[in-house]
Amino acid sequence: MSLEIRLIIDSEYRAAIDFYNNTRNLNGPAKKVMRGTHEFCWEFINGPNRKAVYACAWDIEDGKEPVLIGTQCMIIHRMISTDGKMILAAKGEDTLIEINALLKFKKTDILKELNTLLTDECRNSGVEYLWGFNSLPATYRRLGYKILFKSFNTVLVLNPVKTYQYLLKLRSEHTVWGKLKIATLSGLSYVCSLKRIFIQTRKKGFHINSEISENTLLFQRAAYPDRLFFLVQDQEYQRWRIRDNPYPVKYKFFQLLDNENTVRAQIICSLNNHVAYIEQTLFAKDLKRKSINFLLKSIVKSLKNELIFLVRYTGTRNNTLNIREMDLLRTMGFVLTGTGEWFTFKPLSDNSVITPDNIYLSHMYKQGRS
């Protein structure tokens, strides 16, 4: 009996897919969405930059086929700063270890072995930092990650009855008290959302389109003069993340343009089962508040016309741009419902200029499975 930690090879993709579908996740029960070969290749093989660095742990016994007992991978992305500096970063995914293997190999820290291999591979590839979102801060501190802040979950309720039914099903709540809390949350959130009706807007000099376009220049106009870093979302990335996405998620772009057809604001939404998710917002720093309100109110009206009953948004308060985004949406009637996941950060270079506070974060940085 022995444990082998190494990078995956092409012939082992099927084993990794089956392992994902059948194994309990470290963060809780695995999602019901089943992954096939197409979904696996989209996420880890055919990405916009390069193959993911995918590590596996195998249980090796003489005379028997090796058994996959653990996985972890890093998806490498390009980041760009406000002043045009480009760096590489890697986001952790597929952290899974078979529960019985933890007992069988209790003298070996399987997750640490997987992460050490990935860290070395990423460092050798020029990656400057590792990052991710998770619910196990103590585990990732043990692996050398910094855990500095959580995300915040907010909602805009457009139909309180359907929102109540949705949350009831989502939380599997059966007690009278639990149902009452959900009903109260849905009702109060809907009342708060109505304040958007009284917000003043200004359309003059602007129009809205729904084209998909690159947004690095808009990010730089939104963040300047602060030096922040942003995930490069060029045509190749957006084609992979949105057009080629194999999961049943629909995307909508809203862009505010001035008379010279310069994009001054952009909002990306995903729609699934009549629930919308604001994936990302960007507003040029010199754009007036009434013009931003015009775009936001137009989006809400458009979503209501598509029978959306709930709009969700997850934000952070780690830098000026993320703070501004949250404040704008809360002014529009979004209600804070609680905290989300921890942001994990592990620098790989002593000379890196990036810190958790200068990374602009959005839901577009996730994989877009739901």
Q: Over its length of 370 residues, how does the chain's per-residue pLDDT go in tens digits?
A: 689 999 999 999 999 999 998 885 554 555 555 789 999 999 999 988 889 999 999 998 887 889 999 999 999 999 999 999 999 999 999 999 988 888 888 888 999 999 999 999 999 999 999 999 988 899 999 999 999 899 999 999 999 999 998 888 877 666 888 888 888 889 989 998 888 888 889 889 999 999 888 999 999 999 989 999 999 999 999 999 999 999 989 999 999 999 999 999 999 999 999 999 999 999 999 999 999 999 999 999 999 999 999 999 999 999 999 999 999 999 999 999 999 999 999 999 887 788 999 999 999 998 877 6
Maximum C-alpha span of the chain: 76
Q: Which domain, by its residues, includes 273?
A: 152-365
Bridge partners, 153 (sequence order):
314, 338
The answer to the question of residue 144 being in a domain is no
Those residues with Cβ within 8 angstroms of residue 217's Cβ, 6 or more apart along the chain or in another chain: 263
Around Cβ 296, how many Cβ atoms within 10 Å? 27
**What does the block give as tokens for 312?**
């969700």
User: How many distinct structural domains can be found in the chain?
Assistant: 2
For residues 169 and 295, membership in a common domain is answered with yes
Q: How crowded is the C-beta side of 24, counted as CA atoms within 13 Å?
A: 9
The answer to the question of residue 275 being in a domain is yes
For residues 279 and 357, membership in a common domain is answered with yes
For residues 188 and 59, membership in a common domain is answered with no
What phi and psi, each to the nearest 5 degrees, are found at residue 238? -65, -35
For residues 242 and 94, membership in a common domain is answered with no
